[in-house]
Structure 1
């Protein structure tokens, strides 16, 4: 499995970026992860770890930026994702250095691929059809770009540009040999504690932000059908994590959740936080499994378990389209 995207799928690449504020290599991040704080932006496993469990991968996918990710360590895949990054190259610049989706794919092509060919003793054209390519990016392009920039571009035009760029990235990976693709939807960013804190007197989710996510996801799902004929012998699966999380928020008790509004760790600006990430060494709630959000933006491991399970085995086309990852993995 090769992984590209933002903090929802980053497993430690940003740990190695000196001048980045988007890091999760400290407690309480990783409080429930077997290896402790690792750079995953949640309390335990992220959705990639859990998909790896479902797919019976032998170990955690290593982070590209880790100097030890080379040689035999790359045979089962590499994670290139970077917290705060986006589809657009300038997304995330306000937190310092991040690795854009563009650069992530360059890292794959220029560094990992030649090494992989040596390790496997065959061309990437022969080996890559056996790998899953997971792309989870887009949310930051709205939260930390569109909604804070003084742009006059309409939401539809911005989204069309974004999904066009994303389709070009998928075609690039296809041209390198990839044949099995998973694209993750944008989460309901308007329901995050970060979004709600901007309008504390209003109940419920911020509709403008959720509408942006909904528009992006609609484009993304239709893109699956549009570009598949342009990529012969490929398969693309759309995982609707937006719906999976919204269903939990709308009916939490039936799924074992209680708190759908508050982050589990302390992110308060009054105590030196930034309203998004956990304060280093700060307090955290006792029962993380009943919380939807761990910090101001990212879901708990408990939510990630739901997303991974649905992605792997759901037969509902509204959750995973056109079929699930279990079916994709055996094609």
Structure 2
């Protein structure tokens, strides 16, 4: 809503996400997913990041078939991409952003890690309340500082790209 969108992007796996509807955006999100295949296994039917990127590549091909390669490339390069890799893992983020870039994504918002030490799951497994998990939050802060720097480097080094760090902490 803050970005001026009137509707939410439909989920990729919804049966009606096709035709001209894909020209307005598609949602590939999957709660509990991660970069690594095993990430989030305990949560059940999640779709890992590489599969989500595969789905985006398929949508890209559908858009090219629908409006032609030059128009598709221009549209994709002017679109906004919102990426949040869950707190299940935070490894090799740049590999997926690079892949999105090679698929013509140019404006990518990446959320920071949240306060993982305050997640109910972490508090429950440590049996000691919120104080004992503060080292996890320190790791999240360290990760966030490195992520912000990485996104600045990607913006600088990938021609025409804008990687935005969104502070979710």
TM-score by length of 2: 0.89
Shift of 1:192: 2.2
Alignment match of 1:126 (pick from 66, 74, 78): 74
- Asked if the contact 1:84/1:98 (under 8 Å) is kept, the reply is yes
Alignment match of 1:226 (pick from 153, 159, 166): 153
- Asked if the contact 1:135/1:183 (under 8 Å) is kept, the reply is yes
Deviant stretches of 4+, over 6 Å:
none
- Asked if the contact 2:80/2:107 (under 8 Å) is kept, the reply is yes
Shift of 1:56: 1.8
- Asked if the contact 1:139/1:213 (under 8 Å) is kept, the reply is no
CA distance 1:217–1:203, change in 2 (3 Å): closer
Counterpart for residue 277 of structure 1: none
Counterpart for residue 189 of structure 1: 116
What are the Cα deviations for residues 33-81 of structure 1, in whole angstroms up to 9, with x where unaligned?
A: xxxxxxxxxxxxxxxxxxxx12222311100111111112211111111
Following superposition of structure 1 onto structure 2, how do residues 142-291 of structure 1 map, counting pairs within 5 Å?
162=91, 165-204=92-131, 206-242=133-169
Q: Which runs of 5+ in 1 are unaligned?
A: 1-52, 142-158, 243-331
Q: Confirm or deny that 1:57 pairs with 2:2.
A: no
- Asked if the contact 1:191/1:204 (under 8 Å) is kept, the reply is no
SS of residue in 1 equivalent to 2:163: strand
Shift of 1:200: 4.3
What are the Cα deviations for residues 86-144 of structure 1, in whole angstroms up to 9, with x where unaligned?
A: 122221123333211111101110x2112222344453322112210111004112xxx
- Structure showing greater radius of gyration is 1
Structure with greater helix share of residues: 2
CA distance in 2, matches of 1:104, 1:225: 24
Alignment match of 1:113 (pick from 33, 47, 60): 60
- Asked if the contact 1:91/1:140 (under 8 Å) is kept, the reply is yes
- Asked if the contact 2:87/2:113 (under 8 Å) is kept, the reply is yes
- Asked if the contact 2:123/2:133 (under 8 Å) is kept, the reply is yes
Q: Which runs of 5+ in 2 are unaligned?
A: none
SS of residue in 2 equivalent to 1:167: helix
Shift of 1:85: 0.7
TM-score by length of 1: 0.47
Root mean square deviation, CA, Å: 1.9
